[in-house]
Structures are given as C-alpha cells and as structure tokens.
C-alpha cells in the first residue's frame, strides 16, 4: 500500500525529531511492503516567517488530502510578542479545528527501564502505571469567546468555557470505547463543584456511560485528579476530560514517566485522518545541538501507523523497538538521570538504535 503523510516539522527541535520518526516509518514501510509519500508543509513560527500567518491555507489543503499528519513542535520566544491570532500556537489550534480533530489521546506509561528517571518513590509507583488521557480538543475555554474590556477595576480580560452536549457525548464515547480495549475503567475529570460547564459535562458523561455497561465510571474533581496522579498513578486506566484540564494533567502525567520527551499523542476525529505529535514543546534552547529526545515523536509515529493506517503489527513492533532500545541502556540527556550502566546518546544515534531494533523485530516476524 502507498500512503500520503503530511509532515509539519515546525520550529525548534521539531525538524530534528521528525527526521528520526520518518527514519522509523521508512524502516517499517520497507520491511512490511508499504510506501510512504511525505509532503512537507509549513505551520507555526516558520510559517509566520515565510508567509506572515501561522497556518497557511496550502497546509490545510494538503493535510486534508493526506492519510495522516506528522507534527514536530511549534513556537518559541521569537514570536511571543505577536498578537494571539498570529502566534505559532494559533496554527496548532487552527489545524485541529480545520481537520475536525476533537479527541486527543495521550498515553502515559512508565517503561520499566526508566524507573530510575521517575521522580516518584518506588513505593508510590509500585509495578508501574499505564494510563490513557483522552482530552477534548476543539471546545472549551481554548475556543470560547475571549477578549478585553473595561470593568470597575480598569482593563480586564476574559476567556469563556463553553461545551455542548454533542461535544461531550462524542469525546465520552471515544474514552469508553478505548477503555473496552484496556481495563474497562473510565475516570471523568471535571470541576462540577464550581463550574456549570462541568455540571453539564458530568450529566452527559453519565448518560453515555449507560451505553457501556461493561465499563466502570468514576467522577473526579480536577484538583483531586492532579493529586492522585502523583500519589497513586496506577489507579488510573482511561481518563477523559476537557481541553484545558487535559492539557495540564497530561503534562503532569508525562513528567512521572521520566521525561516529557517520552509521551506521544494522537488527535483524531470521526474518520481515519489524524494528527500525531509529541506532547512536548519546541525546546528552542537545545535546538540544533543534537541532544533532543526523539522517542515521543517515534512513538507518535507508531500511533499514526495504528490509528490512521491500520497497521497494528507495525505499530506494536515500533513500540517494542523503543522498549528494547531503553532496555539496552541508551538514553538521551533528559532521561539519563543518575542511573548506572546507561549510555548517553544524541538524537540521531537514538533514532538509529530504534531503527536497528525495529529491523530485528520485523525480520524476526517475517522469519
């Protein structure tokens, strides 16, 4: 099969980590009889510099006609003083909206080889954790009415949290369906003791839960959820929550896996087209130094293979190759920690190692 993949390398370390993910996709394609055609397009700060806008229309059109979109990272201090609608992050919000990607899946799993890099005590982590955070992506406060006005205390700013029944229903169904393939437990996170939008969220999630009698549902306030992630992360299976809460909680969860450089994500809609990206930022302070961790982007490529292309066996092989590379003791600086017997490598060397292990895994499958 031949697949078209739109590639948005973006800013900062984006081009470096995307190059390693493409390296892995090429190995998977070569050994499995699939061909990937890449179309590089602009978004973020680099798009602003080249076209004056963070999301050119050409980028949107190419992404819409692709089978999947692979994204590095966008943003950086160079563009921090621009108006909100012209900042790099506006491109990210815009592409999600344009492609109808309303569900963001962010797995947070502690690899056994990275136990020493986890900031939590072994007594807290226990045998590890494996949670999936399902974040609503195109609604809520990030897309609500916003602005500035004059009030009694002078100039004031406002951002509005709005959710419809339809938006809550569809993200809840994504979470419940995902849980049926896991441990059949969903934790719905809200702030129903304060926010009216959260009260509607809770009502709708409970109605959707009746469609999935085999799945256990619990409600949890967001402040308690934040505490439980660091107190007892193993208690979670699938967590479903709003745009802003999911943004914050998934970043918190990423840090207890050893590094934010380890977490991939998939942004999905009603079809198979999805956008795949690491959850970390563009890290301009280390851009060009060859030390960025490419594993989150490589794992995002595995999710691309699984969810958009339907290549589950290849996705499994990529994930096993990453685990094998970590078991072999290779580490980029962000996950090296103080562990003994590890070897610190750069971005490209880490990608090469994963590629070798992927070749071995796929060849063994064919053999």
Cα dist. 128→110, 122, 124, 291, 356 in Å? 6, 9, 9, 27, 27
DSSP 301-364: HHHHHHHTS--HHHHHHHHHHHHHHHHTTEE-HHHHTT-TT-EE--HHHHHHHHHHHHHHHHHH
Q: For the chain, how big is the Rg over CA atoms in Å?
A: 20
Q: How many C-beta atoms lie closer than 10 Å to residue 156's C-beta?
A: 11
CB 338 within 8 A of CB 306: no
Cα dist. 280→16, 74, 75, 259, 295 in Å? 14, 10, 11, 9, 11
The torsion defined by the Cα of 317, 303, 262 and 122, in degrees rounded to 10, comes to: -70
Burial string for 35-47 (b: 16+ CB within 10 Å, else e) reads ebebeebbbbbbb
CB 90 within 8 A of CB 74: no
Q: In the structure encoding, which two tokens stand for residue 258, read together?
A: 């050893």
The H or E element spanning position 298 is helix 295-307
Token pair 């509005």 in the structure block, residue: 160
CB 100 within 8 A of CB 241: no
Tell me how far apart the alpha carbons of residues 65 and 97 are, in angstroms, rounded to a whole number.
15
Active site residues: 142, 191, 223, 247, 251
């Amino acid at each position: 099969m031949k697949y078209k993949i739109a590639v948005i390398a973006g800013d900062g370390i984006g081009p470096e980590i995307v190059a390693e993910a493409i390296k892995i996709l090429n190995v998977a394609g070569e050994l499995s009889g699939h061909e990937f055609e890449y179309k590089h397009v602009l978004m973020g700060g680099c798009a602003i510099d080249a076209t004056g806008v963070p999301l050119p229309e050409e980028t949107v059109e190419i992404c819409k006609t692709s089978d999947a979109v692979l994204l590095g990272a966008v943003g950086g201090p160079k563009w921090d003083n621009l108006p909100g609608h012209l900042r790099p992050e506006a491109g990210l919000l815009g592409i999600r909206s344009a492609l109808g990607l309303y569900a963001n899946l962010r797995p947070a799993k502690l690899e056994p080889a990275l136990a020493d890099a986890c900031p939590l005590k072994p007594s807290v982590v226990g045998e590890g954790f494996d949670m999936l955070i399902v974040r609503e992506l195109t609604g809520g406060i990030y897309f609500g009415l916003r602005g500035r006005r004059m009030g009694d205390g002078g100039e004031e700013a406002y951002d509005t949290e709005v959710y419809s029944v339809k938006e809550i229903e569809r993200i809840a169904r994504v979470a419940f369906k995902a849980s049926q393939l896991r441990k059949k437990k969903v934790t719905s996170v809200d702030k129903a003791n304060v926010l009216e939008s959260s009260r509607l969220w809770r009502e709708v999630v409970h109605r959707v839960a009746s469609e999935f009698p085999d799945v256990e549902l619990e409600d949890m306030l967001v402040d308690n959820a934040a505490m439980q992630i660091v107190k007892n992360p193993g208690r979670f299976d699938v967590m479903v929550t709003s745009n802003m809460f999911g943004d914050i909680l998934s970043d918190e969860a990423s840090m207890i896996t050893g590094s934010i450089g380890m977490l991939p994500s998939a942004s999905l809609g009603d079809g198979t087209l999805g956008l795949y990206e690491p959850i970390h930022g563009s890290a301009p302070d280390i851009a060009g130094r060859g030390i960025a961790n490419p594993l989150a982007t490589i794992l995002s490529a595995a999710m691309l293979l699984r969810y958009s292309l339907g290549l589950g066996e290849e996705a499994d092989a990529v994930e096993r190759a990453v685990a094998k590379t970590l078991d072999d003791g290779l580490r980029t600086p962000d996950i090296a920690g103080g562990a003994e017997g590890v070897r610190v490598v750069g971005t490209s060397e880490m990608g090469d190692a994963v590629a070798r292990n992927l070749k071995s895994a796929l060849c063994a499958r064919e053999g």
